[in-house]
Amino acid sequence: MTFEILILLLAAAVQSGTPILYATLGEIFTEKSGVLNLGVEGTMILGALAGFVTARLTGSPLLGFFLAGVVGSLATSIHGVVCLIFQGNQVVSGLALTILGLGLANYLGTGYVGLSAPGFDPLPLPGLAAIPLLGPIFFRHDILVYCSYILVPLIWLFFTRTRLGLALRAVGEYPAAATAAGLSVAAHRWLGVLVGGFLMGLGGAYLSLAYTHLWTSNLTAGRGWIAVALVIFAFWRPGRAVFGAYLFGGIMALQLRLQATGTQVPSSILLMLPYLLTVLVLVFSSWRRGSGEAPAALGINEEPVD
Give residue-wise pLDDT tens across range 18-72. Answer: 999 999 999 999 999 999 999 999 999 999 999 999 999 999 999 999 999 999 9
Q: Could you tell me if residue 11 is inside a domain?
A: yes
pLDDT value at 290 more than 70: no
296 within a domain of the structure (yes/no): no
Long-range Cβ contact pairs of 154-160 (< 8 A, separation 24 or more): 155/25, 155/28, 155/29, 155/238, 156/237, 156/238, 156/239, 159/32, 159/238
Is the confidence at residue 268, as pLDDT, over 90?
Answer: no
What's phi and psi for 59, nearest 5 deg? 80, 10
pLDDT of 292 > 60? The answer is no
- Within a domain: 30: yes
Q: Say which CATH number the domain at 49 has.
A: 1.10.3470
3-state secondary structure of 280: helix
Is position 294 within any domain?
Answer: no
Q: Which of 140, 145, 120, 147 is nearest to 210 (CA)?
A: 120
List pLDDT tens digits, range 195-219. Answer: 999 999 999 999 999 999 999 999 9
Quick check: is 91 in a domain? Answer: yes
Task: Phi first, then psi: give them for residue 150, nearest 5 degrees.
Answer: -75, -35
CA 207 to CA 274: how far, in whole Å?
A: 17
Q: Is residue 144 part of a domain?
A: yes
Residue 293, in any domain of the structure? no
Phi-psi region of 241 (alpha: psi -120 to 50; beta: other; left: phi over 0): alpha
Pairwise CA distance, residues 34 & 28, whole Å = 10
Identify which of 159, 156, 121, 112 has the alpha carbon closest to the alpha carbon of residue 141. Answer: 121
Residue 50 lies in a domain: yes
Its pTM surpasses 0.85: yes
Number of domains in the chain: 1
Segments forming the whole domain that contains residue 119: 2-287
Angular region, 213: left φ>0, alpha ψ -120 to 50, beta rest: left
Q: Tens of pLDDT along 118-151?
A: 999 999 999 999 999 999 999 999 999 999 999 9
